[in-house]
C-alpha cells in the first residue's frame, strides 16, 4: 500500500479541481424575466465606428435622428430639426430634460462633442461639413453645399450620441454611456452583454426589465440553439435551417425582405463586358427564381430590379422585371459578334467570353449560387470560374482594377437614404462595392448631384426614377436575389416588430408571456 | 545522484529554452502572417467595421493609426522590445491589451481543458486497465471498438452527435454557451471522448508491457497475488508512458479546441486565435503563439518531472 496514496491524492486533486470548475456560477435569480437575444455579432470594442451597429440595434445608444421601420425619419436625441433659408444651416433641437444613463443631462454641447468624434470617421465624410457647433439647446450643422439628406446620414450608427463621461483619458470609449431604452449592466468578454431597462428613458420605458445579449457567430450553432429554444429572439438564422427550427416547435422563424442585395457586378472596362449587350445577356441567362427557390429556399427573394419594395422610394414598380430568357440572351450575343468555338465557349477578336467571378467565403450561399450560375452561363457560351475569398479581397480587386466579375452582398441602407450608397457605388470609376469602369457614371453623377442639392420632394422623386432606370438599363451591376432577414422568435415572445433597416431590434416593445 | 540545486538549474534552463522556443514560434507567426497575400490593413479594417462599411480610406486610417505602414523589421523589433519589457501590445481589433485578452480566453481554455482531460482519464484508465490485464478478452475487444470508433470521428462529429442526443433530442443540456456548469458538460465530454480515443490503447499497452515485465514475475515469485503484485509494482511503472503521452496530448487539447469552441460558442483560446487569424490581428496571434508554445513546453517539463518522481532510477542516471 506504500504507493497508492500518492496516486489517489493526485487523482483527487485533479478531479476535485475539475469539479470545482464545473460548479455553476452564482445563482441567477429571476432568469425567466430575462429577454434572451442572440445574433452573430460580437462586441469587439467600445468604438461607435466599429461596434456602433450593436449599440444601435440593442437600443443602448441613439442618434440625433432615427428611422421607424416604415422608413420615416423621427426625432431621436433631437426633438425636431429644420434647415435655414440658405439651405446650408441645419438646427437640431435637443430634447428638453433628457438624461444619459449616468443621470447627466443631454446638452447640445455634449451632443456636439460626441458628433465631432463621429465626423472624423469615414462613413460621415460624405457630409460636406463646414462647421458644427452648439447654440443654446440646438446642434447647428452648416454644410458647404446644400446636402438635403443630412438628417438621414445622421442616422448612421457611427454618429450615436454618447455622454462625455464615456471617453477615457486616451480618447477611446471606456464605457458606453448613452440615451437608449437599455443600459449596459454587465459584460462577459465579447460574447455576452447584460442590459437593464433605463427607467429615465425619454419615451415610455421598455416593457422588459432585463435583456441578455449573446453573440453566436457560427451559423450551425445558432441553428442548434434555435432548435433547442435556448434564446427568445435570434436574429439572422441560417435560411436553410428554417424548416428544422419550425419543426422543433420551440421557436418560429419570421422573415422579411430587406434592402440588402446579392449583386453581380461587372468590370465594364474589359472586352468581355464593355458591350452592354453582353451584360444584358448575362442577366437574362440567370435563373433567379430557380436560385431563390433551390438555394435560398425563398422564391420571393428573386430580384426583379435592384431594390425590393421594402424601400418604396427606391423601388419603381413601373420598371420591367428582369427576365430569364436563354434564347434571347444567345441572340444578343450573336448580335454582338460573339461566336461559339468548338468547345461551346464564345469568342470575339480572339478573346474568349470567360471571366473569374469573386465571391465572399463567409457568405456560403454566394459560392453555391456561383456554381449554379456557372452552369446557367455555359448555356449562353460563357465560361465562369468562381473564386471564393475573404470579403476584403473584393474592394481591393476593384481598387486595383483587377476585378472581372464579382458577386457580393450589399446593403443599400447603411443610412435610410439609398443615395448615400448610390454615390460611392455608381458615380466613380472605381467604386468600393459596385461598378468598375462603368461609362454610365458620367450620366449618373449629374443626377445624384442634383438629388443631393434638391429640397423639392417632387423633383427628387423624378430624379430617383431616372437613376433607377439608368441602373436598370445600363447594368453596371445586376441584382440576383434580395435578402430575407430571418428572425427566430420563441413562443413566449409577444409584440416583436422587425425593422427592415436593421437599425434597431425593437426590443423595447417586446413582452414575455 | 543529482542534487536539488542541480535539478533547479536544469528546470531553469528548460524554462529558458521554452521561452526562447515560444518567441521563435511567435516570430514565425509574424513572418507567416505578413507573407499571406492581401493587404493586412484592409483585412483588419474589414474585421473592425464590417464588410459593408469597408472603404480604402478606413484601411488607410487604420494603417496610419496602428503603425502598419512602418517597415516590417521595425514592427518586429518594436514587438520584441515590448516583449523584453513584458508587454505584448494591443489588439488591432479591440484596442485592448493583448495580455488581458489572452488571460480572459486562456482561463476558459484551462477550465475546459482540465475538465475534459480529467474526464478523459476517468474513461481511459478503467477501460485501458481492464483491456491490458486480459488482452484479447471481452473487455479488451470492447475497449478496442470504443477507442477505434472515437478515434475515427473528428471532434466536431462527436460534438454534433452529443448535441443532437443530449441537447436537441433529450433536451437535458444546453446546446451551446459557457456561463454555467451545465454548459460545460457537452464540450468537456466531446473533448474527453476525443482524448480518450488515443489514451485507451496507450494505457492498455502500458499495462500489457508491465504485466510481461521481469519485475512483475519476480513479485509473483515472491508470493504476491496477481492483483497485489500489479498494485504495488505494476501501476507505477505503467504510469510512466501514460504521463508522457498525456503531456503530448496537450497539443491536441489546443488543436481540438478550435473546433469544439466554435461549435459550443465557447470563448477560449482557440476561438480567439481563429478570429485573430481571420482579422490578421498580428499582436494577438503572436501573443497566443507565445502562450501556447510556452505552455506546451511547460507541460512537457512537468511531465518529465513527474516521470522523475515516478521512476527513481532516472534520478541516478542508471539505465531503466
* Angle between helical axes of B181-211 and B138-152 (0-180°, round to 10): 130
For CA atoms B243, B245, B251, B252, the dihedral sign is negative
Arithmetic mean of pLDDT, A341-351? 95
Task: Indicate yes or no: CB of A390 within 8 angstroms of CB of B55.
Answer: no
A436 is a domain residue:
yes
Which residues of B fall within a CB distance of 8 Å from A172? 95
Q: Given B54, B84, B114, which residue is the final one in a domain?
A: B84
**pLDDT at residue A133, as a whole number:** 96
Contacts of B175 in chain A (CB under 8 A): 221, 224-225, 227-228, 230
Mean pLDDT, all residues of chain B: 84
- Name the helix (H) or strand (E) containing A254: strand A251-266
Residue A276 sits at the vertex; the CA angle it makes with A271 and A282, to the nearest 5 degrees, is 85
pLDDT at A378: 96
Same domain, A298 and A443: yes
Q: In the 3-class helix/strand/coil scheme, how is A390-436 assigned residue by residue?
A: CCCHHHHHHHCCCCCEEEEEEECCCCCCCHHHHHHHHCCCECCCCCE
B249 falls within a domain? yes
Report the gap between the CA of B232 and the closest CA in chain A (Å).
7
Of A218, A391, A424, which is closest to B46 when you measure between CB atoms? A391
Interface of B with A in 128-157 (CB under 8 A): none
Give me the mean pLDDT over the A222-245 stretch: 92
In a domain, B2, yes or no: no
B170 close contact with A: CB closer than 8 A: no
Alpha carbon of B142: minimum distance to chain A alpha carbons (Å):
25
- The predicted-structure confidence for A77-108, as pLDDT tens digits, reads as follows 999 999 999 999 999 999 999 999 999 999 99
Point out the least confidently predicted range of A17-31, A71-85, A216-230.
A17-31
Assigned domain for A20 exists: no
Question: Are A283 and A187 found together in one domain?
Answer: no
Q: Which residues of B touch A192 (CB under 8 A)?
A: 179
- Please give the Cα distance from B109 to A389 (Å, whole number): 30
Same domain for B157 and B60: no
Average pLDDT over residues B59-63: 89
Question: Would the pLDDT of A490 be above 70?
Answer: yes
Q: Are residues A374 and A236 in the same domain?
A: no
Half-sphere exposure of residue A288: CA atoms within 13 angstroms, side-chain side: 25
**Which candidate from A7, A410, A432 shows the least CB-CB separation from B235?**
A7
- List of chain A residues whose C-beta atoms are within 8 Å of the C-beta of residue B188: 22
Q: Return the number of CB contacts < 8 Å for A and B.
A: 145
Looking at the structure, tell me whether residues A266 and A215 fall in a common domain: no
Does some domain include residue A203? yes
* Chain B nearest CA to A344, separation (Å): 34
Query: Both A239 and A275 in a single domain?
Result: no
pLDDT-derived band at B254, boundaries 50, 70, 90: low
Sign of CA dihedral A62, A67, A68, A73: positive
CA distance B88 to B82: 6
In terms of domains, do A139 and A279 share one?
no
Is A152 in the same domain as A271?
no
- Please report whether residue A116 resides in a domain: yes
Higher-pLDDT residue of B225, A367: A367
Average pLDDT on B1-28 reads 81
Least CB–CB distance from A392: residue in B54, B105, B174? B54
For chain A, percent of residues with pLDDT exceeding 90: 80
Which position has the higher pLDDT, B38 or B312? B38
Task: Tell me whether residues A50 and B49 touch, CB distance under 8 A.
Answer: yes
Distance CA B287, CA A47 (A): 23
Q: DSSP letter for A105, please.
A: B
Can you tell me the distance from the alpha carbon of B315 to that of B302, in angstroms, rounded to the nearest whole number? 15
Distance CA B76, CA B71 (A): 9
Which residue from A24, A214, A392 is facing B42, i.e. has the nearest CB?
A: A392
Residue A273 sits in the same domain as residue A169:
no
Q: Percentages helix, strand, coil for chain B, rounded to the nearest 5?
A: 80, 0, 20
* Claim to verify: residue A192 and residue A119 sit in the same structural domain: yes
pLDDT band at A363; cut points 50, 70, 90: confident
Does residue A328 lie in a domain region? yes
What span, in angstroms and rounded, lies between the C-alpha atoms of B251 and B245?
A: 11
Is the per-residue pLDDT at A460 higher than 70?
Answer: yes
Tell me whether residue A446 is in a domain. yes
User: Which residue has better confidence, B317 or A53?
Assistant: A53
Q: How large is the average pLDDT for residues A383-393?
A: 90
What's the CA gap between A53 and A314, in Å, rounded? 23
Per-residue pLDDT at A79: 96
Residues A143 and A195 in one domain: yes
> Do B120 and B196 sit in the same domain of this protein?
yes
**Residue B58 falls within a domain, yes or no?**
yes
Tell me the CATH number at B213: 1.10.3720.10
What confidence score (pLDDT) does residue B256 get? 66
Q: Which of A431-440, A455-464, B44-53 has the lowest mean pLDDT?
A: B44-53
Mean pLDDT (whole number) for A413-435: 92
Rounded mean pLDDT of B296-308? 82
pLDDT at B164: 93
Residue A508 has pLDDT above 70, yes or no: yes
Please tell me the total count of domains within chain B: 2
CATH classification at residue A143 = 3.40.190.10
Q: Do residue B75 and residue B110 come from a single domain? A: no
Q: Are residues B136 and B241 in the same domain?
A: yes
Residue B226's pLDDT band, with cuts at 50, 70 and 90, is confident
Tell me the ipTM for this assembly: 0.85
Contact A395 B56 (CB under 8 A): yes
A27 domain-assigned: no
**Do strands A405-411 and A354-360 pair parallel, antiparallel, or not at all (unpaired)?**
parallel
Confidence of residue A22 (pLDDT cuts 50, 70, 90): very low
Neighbours of A491 (CB within 10 A): 12
Tell me if residue B310 falls in helix, strand or coil.
Answer: helix
The closest CB to that of B176, out of A14, A190, A221, belongs to: A221
Burial A367-390 (b: 16+ CB within 10 A, else e): bbbbebbeebbeebbbbbebbbbb
Q: Would you tell me the crossing angle of helices B98-133 and B269-278 to the nearest 10 degrees?
A: 130
Range of the domain at B27: 14-84
Reported as a single tens digit per residue, the pLDDT across B71-99 is 999 999 988 888 888 889 999 999 899 99
Is B67 inside a domain boundary?
yes
CB A427 within 8 A of CB A443: no
Same domain flag for B197 and B62: no
Query: Per-residue confidence at A15, pLDDT binned at 50, 70, 90?
Result: very low
User: Which of the residue ranges A219-228, A429-438, B13-22, B188-197 would you say has the lowest mean pLDDT?
Assistant: B13-22
Find, in chain A, the residue whose alpha carbon is nearest to that of B109.
A21
Residues B75 and B197 in one domain: no
Each residue's pLDDT tens digit, A234-247 = 999 988 889 999 99
Q: Characterize the bridge pairing of strands A34-39 and A233-235.
A: parallel
In a domain, B39, yes or no: yes
What secondary structure does DSSP assign to A377-390, as a single string? HHTTT-EEEEEEE-
Largest Cα–Cα separation, chain B: 84
Distance (Å, whole) CA B224 – CA B207 = 18
Is A248 a residue whose pLDDT tops 90? yes
Residue B1 has a pLDDT of 46
B163 to chain A: nearest residue by CA?
A224
Report CB contact under 8 Å: A44, B263.
no
Query: Of A365, A361, A364, A376, whose CA–CA distance to A290 is shortest?
Result: A376
B249 and B120 within one domain: yes
Do B190 and B78 fall into the same domain?
A: no
Asked if residue A399 and residue A271 are part of one domain, the reply reads yes
Judgement on whether residues B211 and B246 belong to the same structural domain of the protein: yes
| C-alpha distance from B158 to closest chain A C-alpha (Å) | 14
Same domain, A216 and A95: yes
What is the CA A331 to chain-centroid distance, rounded?
38
CATH number at residue A443: 3.10.105.10
What range does the domain containing A472 cover?
258-483
Indicate the residue of B45, B46, B265 with minimum beta-carbon distance to A221: B265
CA gap A154, A160 in Å, rounded: 9
- Show the CA angle centred on residue B77, arms to residues B76 and B78, nearest 5°: 90
Q: Are residues B154 and B267 located together in one domain of the fold?
A: yes
Tell me if A230 and B111 make a contact (CB, 8 A cut-off).
Answer: no
Residue A380 has pLDDT above 90, yes or no: yes
Q: Which of A4-18, A126-140, A310-324, B16-30 has the lowest mean pLDDT?
A: A4-18
- Residues, chain B, total? 320
Look at B180 and A24 and tell me if their CB atoms are within 8 Å: yes
Using one digit for the tens of pLDDT, what is the confidence trace for B112-165? 988 998 898 899 888 888 888 888 888 889 888 988 898 888 888 899 999 999
Query: A405, A265 in Cβ contact below 8 A?
Result: yes
Summarize chain A as % helix, strand, coil (round to 5).
Answer: 35, 25, 40
Lowest-pLDDT range, A225-234, A456-465, B141-150? Answer: B141-150
The verdict on B171 touching A (C-beta cutoff 8 Å) is yes
Q: Quick check: is B47 in a domain?
A: yes
Count of CB atoms situated within 10 Å of the CB of A498: 17
pLDDT score recorded for residue A216: 94
Residue numbers in A near B111 (CB within 8 A) = 21
In a domain, A372, yes or no: yes
Is the same domain home to B240 and B106?
yes
Inform me whether the pLDDT recorded for A7 exceeds 70.
Answer: no
- Residue B114 vs residue A75, higher pLDDT: A75
pLDDT at B244 over 90: no
Q: Which of B290, B287, B258 is nearest to B275 (CA)?
A: B258
Is the same domain home to B38 and B186? no
A381 — alpha (psi -120 to 50), left (phi > 0) or beta? Answer: left
Tell me whether residue B121 is in a domain: yes
CB B44 within 8 Å of CB B284: no
Q: Which of B243, B264, B279 is the last residue of a domain?
A: B279
* Domain count across chain A: 2
Is residue B74 one of the residues assigned to a domain? Answer: yes
What local confidence, expressed as pLDDT, does residue B143 receive? 86
Amino acid at each position: 500500500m506504500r504507493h497508492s496514496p500518492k496516486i489517489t491524492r493526485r487523482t483527487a486533486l485533479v478531479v476535485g479541481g475539475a469539479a470545482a470548475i464545473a460548479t455553476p456560477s452564482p445563482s441567477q435569480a429571476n432568469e425567466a424575466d430575462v429577454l434572451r437575444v442572440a445574433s452573430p455579432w460580437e462586441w469587439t470594442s467600445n468604438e461607435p465606428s466599429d461596434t456602433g451597429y450593436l449599440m444601435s440595434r440593442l437600443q443602448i445608444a441613439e442618434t440625433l435622428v432615427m428611422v421607424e421601420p416604415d422608413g420615416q425619419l423621427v426625432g431621436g436625441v433631437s426633438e425636431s430639426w429644420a434647415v435655414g433659408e440658405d439651405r446650408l444651416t441645419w438646427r437640431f433641437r435637443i430634447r428638453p430634460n433628457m438624461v444619459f444613463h449616468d443621470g447627466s443631462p443631454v446638452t447640445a454641447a455634449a451632443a456636439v462633442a460626441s458628433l465631432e468624434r463621429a465626423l472624423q470617421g469615414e462613413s460621415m465624410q460624405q457630409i460636406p461639413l463646414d462647421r458644427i457647433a452648439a447654440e443654446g439647446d440646438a446642434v447647428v450643422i452648416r454644410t458647404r453645399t446644400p446636402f438635403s439628406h443630412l438628417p438621414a446620414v445622421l442616422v448612421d450608427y457611427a454618429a450615436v450620441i454618447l455622454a462625455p463621461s464615456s471617453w477615457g483619458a486616451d480618447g477611446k470609449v471606456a464605457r458606453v454611456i448613452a440615451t437608449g431604452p437599455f443600459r449596459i449592466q454587465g459584460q462577459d468578454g465579447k460574447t455576452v452583454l447584460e442590459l437593464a431597462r433605463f427607467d429615465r428613458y425619454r419615451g415610455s420605458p421598455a416593457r422588459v426589465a432585463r435583456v441578455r445579449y449573446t453573440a453566436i457567430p457560427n451559423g450551425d450553432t445558432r441553428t442548434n440553439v434555435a432548435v433547442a429554444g435556448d434564446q427568445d429572439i435570434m436574429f439572422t438564422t441560417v435560411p436553410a435551417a428554417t424548416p428544422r427550427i419550425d419543426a422543433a416547435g420551440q421557436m418560429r422563424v419570421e422573415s422579411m425582405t430587406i434592402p440588402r442585395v446579392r449583386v453581380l457586378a461587372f468590370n465594364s472596362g474589359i472586352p468581355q463586358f464593355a458591350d452592354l449587350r453582353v451584360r444584358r445577356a448575362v442577366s437574362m441567362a440567370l435563373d433567379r427564381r430557380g436560385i431563390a427557390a433551390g438555394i435560398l429556399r425563398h422564391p420571393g427573394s428573386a430580384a426583379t430590379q435592384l431594390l425590393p419594395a421594402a424601400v418604396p422610394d427606391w423601388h419603381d414598380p413601373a420598371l420591367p422585371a428582369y427576365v430569364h430568357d436563354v434564347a434571347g440572351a444567345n441572340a444578343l450575343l450573336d448580335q454582338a459578334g460573339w461566336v461559339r468555338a468548338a468547345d461551346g465557349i464564345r469568342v470575339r477578336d480572339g478573346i474568349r467570353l470567360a471571366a473569374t467571378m469573386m465571391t465572399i467565403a463567409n457568405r456560403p450561399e454566394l459560392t453555391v449560387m456561383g456554381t449554379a450560375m456557372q452552369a446557367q452561363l455555359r448555356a449562353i457560351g460563357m465560361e465562369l470560374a468562381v473564386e471564393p475569398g475573404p470579403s476584403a479581397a473584393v474592394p481591393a480587386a476593384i481598387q486595383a482594377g483587377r476585378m472581372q466579375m464579382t458577386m457580393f452582398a450589399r446593403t443599400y441602407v447603411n443610412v435610410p437614404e439609398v443615395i448615400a450608397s448610390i454615390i460611392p457605388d455608381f458615380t466613380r470609376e472605381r467604386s468600393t462595392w459596385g461598378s468598375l469602369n462603368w461609362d454610365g457614371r458620367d450620366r449618373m453623377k449629374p443626377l445624384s448631384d442634383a438629388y443631393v442639392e434638391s429640397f423639392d420632394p417632387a423633383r427628387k422623386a423624378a430624379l430617383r426614377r431616372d437613376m433607377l432606370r439608368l441602373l436598370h438599363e445600363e447594368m453596371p451591376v445586376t441584382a440576383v436575389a434580395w435578402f430575407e432577414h430571418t428572425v427566430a422568435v420563441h413562443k413566449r415572445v409577444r409584440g416583436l416588430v422587425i425593422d427592415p433597416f436593421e437599425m434597431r431590434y425593437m426590443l423595447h416593445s417586446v413582452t414575455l408571456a | 545522484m543529482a542534487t536539488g540545486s542541480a535539478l533547479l538549474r536544469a528546470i531553469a534552463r528548460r524554462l529558458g529554452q521554452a521561452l526562447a522556443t515560444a518567441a521563435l514560434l511567435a516570430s514565425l507567426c509574424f513572418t507567416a502572417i505578413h507573407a499571406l497575400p492581401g493587404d493586412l490593413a484592409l483585412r483588419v479594417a474589414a474585421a473592425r467595421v464590417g464588410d459593408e462599411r469597408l472603404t480604402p480610406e478606413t484601411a488607410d486610417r487604420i494603417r496610419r493609426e496602428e503603425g502598419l505602414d512602418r517597415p516590417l523589421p521595425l514592427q518586429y523589433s518594436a514587438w520584441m522590445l515590448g516583449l523584453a519589457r513584458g508587454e505584448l501590445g494591443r489588439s488591432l481589433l479591440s484596442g485592448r491589451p493583448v495580455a488581458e485578452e489572452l488571460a480572459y480566453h486562456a482561463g476558459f481554455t484551462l477550465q475546459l481543458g482540465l475538465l475534459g482531460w480529467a474526464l478523459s482519464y476517468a474513461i481511459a484508465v478503467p477501460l485501458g486497465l481492464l483491456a491490458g490485464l486480459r488482452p484479447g478478452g471481452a473487455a479488451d475487444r470492447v475497449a478496442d471498438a470504443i477507442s477505434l470508433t472515437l478515434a475515427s470521428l473528428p471532434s466536431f462529429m462527436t460534438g454534433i452527435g452529443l448535441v443532437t442526443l443530449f441537447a436537441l433530442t433529450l433536451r437535458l443540456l444546453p446546446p451551446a454557451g459557457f456561463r454555467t456548469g451545465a454548459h460545460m458538460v457537452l464540450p468537456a465530454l466531446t473533448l474527453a471522448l476525443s482524448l480518450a480515443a488515443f489514451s485507451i490503447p496507450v494505457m492498455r499497452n502500458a499495462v500489457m508491457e508491465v504485466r510481461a515485465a521481469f519485475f512483475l514475475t519476480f513479485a509473483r515469485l515472491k508470493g504476491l497475488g496477481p492483483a497485489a503484485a500489479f498494485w504495488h509494482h505494476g501501476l507505477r511503472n505503467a504510469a510512466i508512458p501514460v504521463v508522457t503521452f498525456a503531456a503530448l496530448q496537450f497539443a491536441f487539447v489546443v488543436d481540438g479546441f478550435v473546433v469544439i469552441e466554435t461549435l459550443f460558442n465557447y470563448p477560449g483560446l482557440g476561438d480567439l486565435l481563429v478570429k485573430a487569424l481571420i482579422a490578421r490581428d498580428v499582436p494577438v496571434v503572436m501573443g497566443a503563439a507565445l502562450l501556447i508554445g510556452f505552455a506546451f513546453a511547460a507541460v512537457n517539463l512537468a511531465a518529465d518531472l513527474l516521470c522523475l518522481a515516478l521512476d527513481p532510477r532516472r534520478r541516478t542516471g542508471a539505465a531503466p
